[in-house]
Amino acid sequence: MAGARQLRRVAGEPVLTAIAYAVAEGLCEAGLVPRGAAAVSLTPDAEGAYRIGLEGVPEAASECFVTALDEAVSPVGDPRYLLPRYVPDRQGWRAGHRATRNKLSHAVVHHAVPSVLGGQRRSADAYAACWNRYVSGGEAVYTRSPEGAGLLAAQAGRSPLDATTALRVGWV
């Protein structure tokens, strides 16, 4: 039951917001920015784009956050670690859940662990804990292992989100 509640919660939240929270919290816990998820600001504009940043932090911390967020949502290049994001099939959730009893239909996409958090296994695992709290369950997978190399080959160059990013230090 707890797993089903978690899937419903994750399926209903905007993914970009959840990822921004996980990145901010991971950076804060690593001591790289002074404020975490509570400082994330997300403002939509008239064209459907979002401005995402950290409020009340120095410029260097803001730059660290937007760079890490960009790495987490952009097409996968060659990160040291990947994290899974489970995407429940809403049709399968409604119809299939009753029939299959806990065998939910879902897809898995992988996101890069931002380089500033993926330099060591310990920091990648700490970020994975934040990812699990805000985005989706799963462990960081080392891309230099046989399993990780396979996942990286399957995901490389693909965008884990249908999004385009543009980094800006300040908005005019």
pLDDT digits (tens, 9 = 90+) for 75-89: 999 999 999 998 876
CB 40 within 8 Å of CB 24 = yes
Residue ranges making up the domain that contains 29: 2-155
pLDDT digits (tens, 9 = 90+) for 55-70: 999 999 999 999 999 9
Q: Is residue 141 part of a domain?
A: yes
Q: Is residue 164 part of a domain?
A: no
Q: Is residue 171 part of a domain?
A: no
Q: Is residue 169 part of a domain?
A: no
Q: Is residue 166 part of a domain?
A: no
Q: 105 pLDDT band (50/70/90 cuts)?
A: low
**DSSP string for residues in 8-35:** HHHHHS-HHHHHHHHHHHHHHHTTSSS-
Q: Indicate the number of domains in the chain.
A: 1
Q: Is residue 68 part of a domain?
A: yes
Cross-strand bridge partners of residue 53: 41
